[in-house]
Amino acid sequence: MRNPVPRFRDVERQAGGLQPAQCLPPCHERQNNMWFIRDACGIVCAIITWFLVFFAEFAVLFIMLIPSKNLAYSLVNGTLFNSLAFLALASHFRAMCTDPGAVPKGNATKEYIESLQLKPGQVVYKCPKCCSIKPDRAHHCSVCKRCIRKMDHHCPWVNNCVGENNQKYFVLFTMYICLISLHALVMVVFHFLYCFEDDWTKIETHQTRQHFSSLQLSNFECSSFSPPATVIILILLCFEALLFLIFTSVMFGTQIHSICTDETGIEKLKREDPTWEKTPLWEGMKSAFGGPLSVSWLSPFSDLSCRKDDSAPVPVFPQGEIIEEDVIEIPLEPN
């Protein structure tokens, strides 16, 4: 049986006279404060991610592009691949070091609740783990040890939660990794088709080990390495590119679908009934990527647009003792 008392969890979005920007630190404060999760598993996964990108760089440059005699082919593909790899790593860094939308810890105080000026009969919820007033659509992350606004999931590959403040960078990261994986696969196919026939023919003409040892690596047309070593490196590159192409394309599609439907991954997993007014598709895209459609949508260096509000801000860290109750009901006014 449902509680007749109105359930009020999204105190920051629905409270009368209270705007979302008032409950967040100022934009310049959020940008200057470095966010980094000290989680061993996440740090190792992030290092592995960068290592795999640099391995792909090595294979593409030193196996396929630099030894190529077609200068135009090398310049075009080298510029494109390195640009996408740079944007992918920049997006990864921003997704990892951006506050995903953490709710201030320890703000579940009587003074803070009074400052919200809630209506009588409304109910707010306190997270018992981080002692913060828990807005609607916020979930507690056991790794970050914080409640995260519009938390989609915690991703160890970026060593951070994916929330309302860094979802754009995570989407760009998956998109650029998907693109460089596809680009690497295409270049590997061309390399196998046009290079190995000539190089392996040279090896077959030298049947004995003495003849093979006398064969200079400079005689190979498409690689600075011997054909067997080149094949091994390119097979590893193919495996890596195919794996990440599938993984990131699925993640990219999932994130875009979540933005368009205004429903996070956790909400879908828990099958929560939406208690909020869903944002239209295009408005959701503009909110997630920081404004109207522009080139900045594709840039990991552009920040999300900040809403300006001239009213007096609500203190983020109010003083006072933390309330023990996990469910706080605003008392009704006496008749």
pLDDT digits (tens, 9 = 90+) for 153-175: 999 999 999 999 999 999 999 99
What are the pLDDT digits (tens) for 196-248?
Answer: 655 555 554 554 444 444 444 344 456 677 778 888 999 999 999 999 999 99
**Residue closest to 113 by CA, chosen among 322, 269, 260:** 322
Provide the 10 A C-beta neighbour count for residue 61.
16
What are the pLDDT digits (tens) for 186-196?
Answer: 999 988 887 76
For the chain, the straight-line distance linking the first and the last C-alpha, in angstroms and rounded, comes to: 27
Q: Strand 123-127 to strand 327-329: parallel, antiparallel, or no bridges (unpaired)?
A: antiparallel
Non-local CB neighbours of 225 within 8 Å, separated by 6+ positions:
63, 217, 233
Distance from C-alpha of 284 to C-alpha of 273, rounded to nearest angstrom:
19
Residue 145: strand, helix, or coil? coil
* Annotation says 238 is catalytic: no
* pLDDT > 60? residue 4: no
For the segment 125-147, the average pLDDT, to the nearest whole number, is 88
For the segment 280-296, the average pLDDT, to the nearest whole number, is 90
| pLDDT given for residue 205 in this prediction | 52
More confident of the two residues 108 and 140 = 140
Distance from C-alpha of 169 to C-alpha of 251, rounded to nearest angstrom:
13
Non-local CB neighbours of 68 within 8 Å, separated by 6+ positions:
74, 222
| pLDDT given for residue 207 in this prediction | 45
C-beta of residue 254 within 8 angstroms of C-beta of residue 155: no
What are the pLDDT digits (tens) for 26-44?
Answer: 333 344 467 999 999 999 9
Tokens coding 244: 């990440």
Backbone angles phi, psi at 147, to 5 degrees: -85, 130
Which range of 243-257, 270-284, 315-329 scores highest in mean pLDDT? It is 243-257
Please, which residues bridge with residue 322 across strands?
Answer: 109
| pLDDT given for residue 126 in this prediction | 85
| pLDDT given for residue 80 in this prediction | 97
pTM of the model: 0.79
More confident of the two residues 230 and 285 = 285
Tokens coding 266: 């956790």
Provide the 10 A C-beta neighbour count for residue 269.
9
What are the pLDDT digits (tens) for 62-72?
Answer: 988 988 888 99
* pLDDT > 60? residue 311: no
Read out DSSP for 34-65?
A: ------HHHHHHHHHHHHHHHHHHHIIIIIII
| pLDDT given for residue 19 in this prediction | 34
Choice among 130, 155, 161, 195 that is catalytic:
155
Which of the four pLDDT bands, split at 50, 70 and 90, describes residue 109? confident
Tokens coding 196: 């190995």
- Torsion angle of C-alpha atoms 316, 319, 325, 331, degrees rounded to 10: -90
Share of the chain above pLDDT 70, in %: 74
